[in-house]
């Protein structure tokens, strides 16, 4: 091709020389050269036009130029067009494959724009959310009208999922409960994953009902047992120390079972949402005074200083009994899981985001990192911390987590083995009333 380009240029130079010579011979060199150049420009303009017309719809059978600069340009245009076509085909193929894969997916999938416009959905999504073909382009929150879903879309954060009632439809098949999860997808889209969790939720409900009913049924026999043990303890004479010691052990275990049952029932109530409003104005300093009185004896026995540093005007929009439960559990744990003589601080601070942090800090045993994520599970106890404290149930922190959740608050546990723990309850700024 380079040879062609040089060849073309040489021909042009030769023509110019011949025309110039001819002009000299007839006595009009400038005029003849001008006429020649004009004709040359018009000729090349025609070729550019031809190239332009072809470049709009380039096809291999009809390449206008094979040789020279124009041939080279036509070749580049044709190759890049071929490349683009191949890429388009491959993208189309991948898209078809993706759609096929998603359509056999057991879960519903909806592709949403960042402004919640529906871009695409598979058949399962159409069944679970009752979407129709013509809903593409509509805002999903206008079609799925459920307060939890609306709240969920507004306050999205990664890893979040909600379980809610499925939209109702009059067919033989319909889901009762669905789980919805959102994942980021590309730069400006989101993926909504919808799963039918009717069976799982039913099983969970059966489990919850069982625990709740069993706990309820055990309450009365335990109260009777406690009564008899107390009566026997009172009538035990000092000449039978072994009987007294055994009865005290039975009494301890009965108390532990009673605590466990009360805590299980409290958890059931929280899970079922059978709770009082969490919107009263509660003075935290006042609650702390109550906690101080309750735990004074226990902390004194263990030579621990219980220090409260809470502003007197700190009020939270909350439920009083819930905050008392939270503080009772956290302060009780701080006392139980600290050695003799340590300080226990209950304080308040505002974090970078303006949220309020009510914290309970101890200088106790601390907790190894591997346990931290599991502490709020029911019955989870750290074996090495519980050598002395055998009365715990492992339900306290699960209750704390639930009580905080109903205040849109979060429990953050900051602890290092052997270096104390800090349990932080982070309340959203809107709940703080100073």
Residue nearer to ligand ADP on the CB measure, 22 or 426 = 426
Should residue 258 be labelled a site residue for ligand ADP when binding is judged by CB under 6 A? no
CA distance 207 to 211: 6
**Which range, of 3-11, 106-114, 176-184, 388-396, touches ligand ADP by CB under 6 A?**
388-396
Among 72, 394, 417, 432, binds ligand ADP (CB under 6 A): 394
Which residue, 295 or 337, has its beta carbon nearer to ligand ADP? Answer: 337
Please give the residues from 322 up to 361 whose contact with ligand ADP meets the rule CB under 6 A. Answer: 329, 333-334, 337
Q: Out of 396, 402, 409, 411, which residue is the one contacting ligand ADP (CB under 6 A)?
A: 396
Alpha carbon 422 to chain centroid, angstroms = 24
Instruction: Count the alpha carbons within 13 Å of 46 in the hemisphere toward its beta carbon.
Output: 6
Which sign does the torsion angle of CA 152, 153, 157, 159 carry? positive
Q: Is residue 382 near ligand ADP by the rule CB under 6 A?
A: yes
Cα 404-312-321 angle, rounded to 5 deg:
30
State how far Cα 26 lies from the chain centre.
89
- The interaxial angle of helices 396-405 and 241-271, nearest 10 deg, is 20
Is the Cβ of residue 89 or residue 377 nearer to ligand ADP in the bound state? 377
Asked whether position 403 contacts ligand ADP by CB under 6 A, the answer is no
Distance of closest approach, residue 300 Cβ to ligand ADP, in angstroms? 18
What SS3 state is found at 110?
strand
Whether 139 and 115 have beta carbons less than 8 Å apart is answered as yes
Which residue stretch of 218-226, 239-247, 300-308, 385-393 sits at the interface with ligand ADP (rule: CB under 6 A)? 385-393
Q: Which of 412, 316, 296 is nearest to 361 (CA)?
A: 412
Choose among 91, 102, 98: nearest CA to 192: 102
The nearest distance, CB 411 to ligand ADP, in angstroms, is 11
CB of 361 to ligand ADP, least distance (A): 9
Binding pattern to ligand ADP, positions 23-52, x when CB under 6 A? Answer: ------------------------------
Q: Pick from 202, 271, 266: which is nearest to 395 by CA? A: 266
Residue among 50 and 259 whose Cβ is closer to ligand ADP: 259
Distance CA 111, CA 120 (A): 5
Instruction: Tell me which stretch binds ligand ADP (CB under 6 A): 1-9, 37-45, 248-256, 387-395.
Output: 387-395
User: What is the Rg, in whole angstroms, of the alpha carbon atoms belonging to the chain?
Assistant: 40
Binding-site member from 397, 404, 411, 425 for ligand ADP (CB under 6 A): 397
> Residues binding ligand ADP: what is the number (CB under 6 A)?
21
| Euclidean distance between CA atoms 316 and 408, whole angstroms | 12
Query: Phi and psi at residue 288, in whole multiples of 5°?
Result: -65, -35
Q: How far is the CB of 122 from ligand ADP (least distance, A)?
A: 42
- Could you say whether residue 110 binds ligand ADP (CB under 6 A)? no
Chain residues in the site for ligand ADP (CB under 6 A): 329, 333-334, 337, 362, 364-365, 367, 375, 380-382, 385-386, 392-397, 421
């Amino acid at each position: 091709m380079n040879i062609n380009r040089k060849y073309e240029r040489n021909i042009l130079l030769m023509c110019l020389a011949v025309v110039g010579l001819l002009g000299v011979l007839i006595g009009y060199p400038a005029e003849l050269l001008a006429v020649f150049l004009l004709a040359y420009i018009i000729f090349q303009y025609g070729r550019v036009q031809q190239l332009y017309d072809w470049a709009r719809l380039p096809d291999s059978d009809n390449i206008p130029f094979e040789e020279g600069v124009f041939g080279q340009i036509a070749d580049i245009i044709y190759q890049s067009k071929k490349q683009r076509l191949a890429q388009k085909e491959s993208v189309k193929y991948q898209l078809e494959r993706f759609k096929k894969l998603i359509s056999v997916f057991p879960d519903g999938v909806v592709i949403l724009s960042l402004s919640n416009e529906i871009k695409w959905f598979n058949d399962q999504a159409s069944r679970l959310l009752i979407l129709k073909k013509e809903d593409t382009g509509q805002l999903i929150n206008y079609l799925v009208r459920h307060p939890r879903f609306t709240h969920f879309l507004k306050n999205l954060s990664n890893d979040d999922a909600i379980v809610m009632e499925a939209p109702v439809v009059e067919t033989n098949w319909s889901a009762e409960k669905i789980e919805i999860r959102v994942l980021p997808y590309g730069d400006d889209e989101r993926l909504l994953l919808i799963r039918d969790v009717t069976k799982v939720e039913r099983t969970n409900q059966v489990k919850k009902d069982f625990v709740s009913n069993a706990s309820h049924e055990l309450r009365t026999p335990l109260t009777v047992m406690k009564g008899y043990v107390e009566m026997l303890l009172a009538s035990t004479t000092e000449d039978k120390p072994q009987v007294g010691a055994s009865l005290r052990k039975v009494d301890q275990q009965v108390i532990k079972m009673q605590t466990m049952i009360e805590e299980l029932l409290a958890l059931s109530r929280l899970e079922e949402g059978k709770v009082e409003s969490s919107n009263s104005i509660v003075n935290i300093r006042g609650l702390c005074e109550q906690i101080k009185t309750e735990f004074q004896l226990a902390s004194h026995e263990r030579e621990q200083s219980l220090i409260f540093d809470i502003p007197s005007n700190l009020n939270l929009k909350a439920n009083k009994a819930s905050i008392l439960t939270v503080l009772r559990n956290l302060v009780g744990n701080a006392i139980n899981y600290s050695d003799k003589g340590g300080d226990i601080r209950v304080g308040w601070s505002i974090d970078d985001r303006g949220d309020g942090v009510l914290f309970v800090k101890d200088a106790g045993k601390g907790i190894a990192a591997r346990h931290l994520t599991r502490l709020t599970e029911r019955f989870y106890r750290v074996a090495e911390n519980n050598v002395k404290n055998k009365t715990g149930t492992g339900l306290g922190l699960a209750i704390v987590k639930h009580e905080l959740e109903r205040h849109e608050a979060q429990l953050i546990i900051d602890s290092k083995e052997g270096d104390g723990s800090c349990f932080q309850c982070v309340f959203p700024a809107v709940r703080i009333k100073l």
